[in-house]
Amino acid sequence: MKAKAWVLGIEKLFEVFPCTEAQKVQLAAFTLEDKARRWWMLTRTVHHGLTWDNFLELFYDKQGNKAIAEYEAQFAELVRFAPHMVDTDYKKARKFEVRLRTTILDRVNMLTLPTYVDVLERAVIAEGNIVA
């Protein structure tokens, strides 16, 4: 419900402020907060040049399947309490990777990705491929 209300509010802005497709996505992304903002930071690295319709498709898909996004949020919260366990990007990547669901882990860990962002990005992609 909150997501639908947010979309309707953004589209209301488009009626008053005519925008190109790219500007619509930029404006919408600018208003995202918290978990939605983190989702967008990951998604935009994989998807370039989105139209508003493409953005909405990804956004609503994310609403339906939040497993990796939720895990990432929990992980980010927990690492604050044990910074010594993730004091390098490589250690952080391995700690994140080890707790992924088996179906996603199998698609990610064989790559031995060097950074946390790389592992997170690939996990999001793998999750999307499993769901699709």
- Residue 41 in any domain: the answer is no
pLDDT tens column, 74-117: 888 888 888 999 999 999 999 999 888 888 888 898 888 999 99
Q: Are residues 25 and 6 in the same domain?
A: yes
Q: Are residues 81 and 120 in the same domain?
A: yes
Residue 1 reports pLDDT greater than 70: no
pTM of the predicted protein model: 0.53
Please tell me the total number of residues recorded for the chain in this structure. 132
Q: Are residues 126 and 105 in the same domain?
A: yes
The H or E element containing residue 100 is none
Q: Are residues 117 and 92 in the same domain?
A: yes
pLDDT tens column, 31-75: 998 878 888 888 888 788 889 998 988 887 766 555 787 888 888
SS (HEC) of 2-31: HHHHHHHHHHHHHHHCCCCHHHHHHHHHHH
DSSP structure class, residue 117: H
